Structure 1
Amino acid sequence: MADAVLFRRTDANPDLPLPAYATAGAAGLDLRACLPDGPLDLPPGGQVLVPTGFYVALPPGTEMQVRPRSGLSLRHRILVPNAPGTVDADYRGEVMVGLWNAGDAPFRVEHGDRIAQAVIAPVLRPPVREADALPPTARGASGFGSTGRR
């Protein structure tokens, strides 16, 4: 069994539940907005950094990938601009979520709203070396649509 992900409340968070998986098959933990002083209005095109009210300690060899919630993205065009955002295993600050309103209408974020999801993933750290040449592949240097649309 993997080591536990540890969460510690910030002083601003007296009441939010721990980040949790919404269903037995969910890949991501729901992250909530910690806004005890009142809601936040995100105008169209606006970006904001939203606190979650939790510090985190991840198991060694893992990262936390912060991703948009599909319902917010599809219905309201609320995105995580650097998705997936990475929280490193050695980070001990508060988990924050960048939100971007790519929609045409203002969007209100309330205290306790589920604003993003966090996927805990393994991290590979192979050695890094410089090379005079790279091994060839059938694809080579072709990129950005080179494999076609269908």
Structure 2
Amino acid sequence: MTRGFEIVSSYADEGLHLPYRTTKSAAGYDFESAVDFKVPSIWKMDFLKVLWAIRHQENVDDATLQKARKILKPFLIPTGIKAYMGDGEVLVLANRSSNPLKRSLVIPNGIGVIDADYYNNESNEGEIFMQVLNFGLTDAKVAKGDRIGQGIFMHYLTADNEQEPQQKRQGGFGSSGK
């Protein structure tokens, strides 16, 4: 097996679907939500007050910055899915084109990167989560089985003069960096 998807053990009996391509020429595999999930609107969390404070203060205090970070912290929607792939490959997670239109959901950094060594890690078995922010005026309701993102397998290149990293992944989500 070269690349593909599996259901993580904690969702084995939950009736989840493996990611799938909807059309013959689709590059992306659609991921579904593993649970019912509510993504709060940033506007309901005093976002305008924080923006106003940042705009009108010469020196923004730490409390205001902390509040802004909390408001803009992405929510993680579980998929119950893990992906395996070969060396030199990556699974890139991207927003579905309908998410901003239908639900006002966006992936905050534009994409997500799932490395090959994320698969079956000790921390969370390699479960993939979709990071989202809701810029809509109301909370976004995501039902179990709703398509929430897509994944595209890709090859990547490394630099000629790279000193190859020796470190092995030690954990799950966000564990390969600070």
Q: TM-score normalised to the size of structure 1?
A: 0.75
Query: Residue 133 of structure 2 corresponds to which residue in structure 1?
Result: 100
1:13, CA displacement in angstroms? 4.4
Query: Residue 85 of structure 1 corresponds to which residue in structure 2?
Result: 112
SS of 2:118's equivalent? coil
AA at the equivalent of 1:44: S
State the distance in 1 between where 2:94 and 2:160 align: 28
State the distance in 2 between where 1:128 and 1:102 align: 42
Query: Residue 28 of structure 1 corresponds to which residue in structure 2?
Result: 28
Identical aligned residues as a percent: 28
Map Cα deviations across residues 95-140 of structure 1 (whole Å, 9 max, x no partner): 11111101112110111111000011111012246xxxxxxxxxxx
AA at the equivalent of 2:8: R
RMSD: 1.8
1:75, CA displacement in angstroms? 2.9
Give every structure 1 segment of 4 or more consecutive aligned residues whose post-TM-superposition deviation is greater than 6 Å.
Answer: none
Query: Residue 111 of structure 1 corresponds to which residue in structure 2?
Result: 144
More helix by share: 2
Unaligned runs of 5+ in 1: 130-150
How many residues matched? 125
1:72 to 99, 104, 123: 99
1:59, CA displacement in angstroms? 2.1
SS of 1:99's equivalent? strand
Higher alpha-carbon deviation: 16-25 or 6-15: 6-15
1:63, CA displacement in angstroms? 0.6
Q: TM-score normalised to the size of structure 2?
A: 0.64
Map Cα deviations across residues 36-66 of structure 1 (whole Å, 9 max, x no partner): xxx2211112631011111221122111111
Higher alpha-carbon deviation: 116-125 or 9-18: 9-18
**Conserved? CA contact 2:41–2:136, under 8 Å:** yes
AA at the equivalent of 1:9: V
Unaligned runs of 5+ in 2: 43-70, 120-125, 163-178
1:17, CA displacement in angstroms? 1.2
Query: Residue 141 of structure 1 corresponds to which residue in structure 2?
Result: none
State the distance in 1 between where 2:161 and 2:141 align: 45
